[in-house]
Amino acid sequence: MKRLPIDNLRHVPPLASPLVEATLELIREVVRRRYDLWDGDWQSFATEGADRLITRADIEEVERAILASGHRFDWSAAISVCERPDAYKPATGLDEGADFSFEHPQAVVTATDDSGREQRGVGDNVVRYERNVVGVARYIRTNARVLDYLSAGVPPGTIAIIDDSGGTLTAPIIDQFQGVICAGGSVRSHLGILTREYGIPCLMNSRLSGVKDGDRIEIEVTAPAKTTEDYQAGIEKVGRIWRLSGDAAA
């Protein structure tokens, strides 16, 4: 079997997520098989042979293998945890539960006001709505919770708190959320685009602290939506996140 240029690398590139690594390896195997059928060198294969020999059926074969492997449900947020551990530091444990909460060092926290609202963070608003959204905070961070919600349904009024901006983990159930709070990304991230298309209020790049699974919360989606120009100019434009108690939680 002919060697690919990547086989000659002296330094092994750092591993990506399991899904990316699995996809890359399957693609490499397709390329290796087709390259073996080519009479010319790698350069001629890359510019001519690949288009002729790599078919739609080859790519569909890769897709079927990925879907069958279960990699599509890998916890995509593992990337964010590795790259930004300060933003994804849990109070306790790694799984969802009553004692879990994000503890972002830059979260804006205030005392409970007369109406029973206690600010516990901020985020970049994707779309400006006429009313804020009130619901129950539920951390969605594992395959097990997604599979449970796929079979039993997402509890009504769920405001999903998600680690990663890719949206891969929650894509199968995203249309059932009352709202979304994401700890990463921007309003232009995949998750921001998905929520906008589904009409689901969402705060991205959220700095959150002390909100536990099951808390009743309110997200300020009446705040101005953040734009690409705001990011480029370094303009801080956020929506607030409140934990509710007393009459406010009713």
User: 122-142: per-residue pLDDT in tens?
Assistant: 999 999 999 999 999 999 888
State the span(s) of the chain assigned CATH 3.50.30.10: 78-249
Tokens representing 42?
A: 């790698």
8 A C-beta contact, residue 135 and residue 216: yes
Tokens representing 63?
A: 């897709």
- Give the C-alpha separation, 191 to 182, whole Å: 8
| E strand segments, the chain | 117-125, 133-139, 158-162, 179-182, 202-208, 216-219, 239-244
pLDDT on residue 103: 85
Q: pLDDT exceeding 90 applies to what percent of the chain?
A: 44
Range 167-193 average pLDDT = 90
For 78-249, CATH number? 3.50.30.10
Q: Where residue 16 falls among pLDDT bands split at 50, 70, 90? A: low
Tokens representing 91?
A: 């109070």
pLDDT on residue 77: 47
Q: Where residue 75 falls among pLDDT bands split at 50, 70, 90? A: very low
**Is 121's pLDDT higher than 60?**
yes
pLDDT on residue 1: 67
Chain centroid, CA 240 distance in Å: 20
Q: Where residue 144 falls among pLDDT bands split at 50, 70, 90? A: confident
**Is 113's pLDDT higher than 60?**
yes
What's the mean per-residue pLDDT of the chain? 83
Q: Where residue 219 falls among pLDDT bands split at 50, 70, 90? A: very high
- Give the C-alpha separation, 178 to 199, whole Å: 10
Q: Which residues contact 120 (CB under 8 A, 6 or more apart)?
A: 107, 109, 208, 209, 210, 211, 217, 241, 242, 243
Least confident of 98-107, 174-183, 232-241: 98-107
Chain centroid, CA 136 distance in Å: 19
- Helix ranges (H only) for the chain are 18-36, 42-44, 50-53, 56-69, 78-83, 143-152, 190-198, 228-233
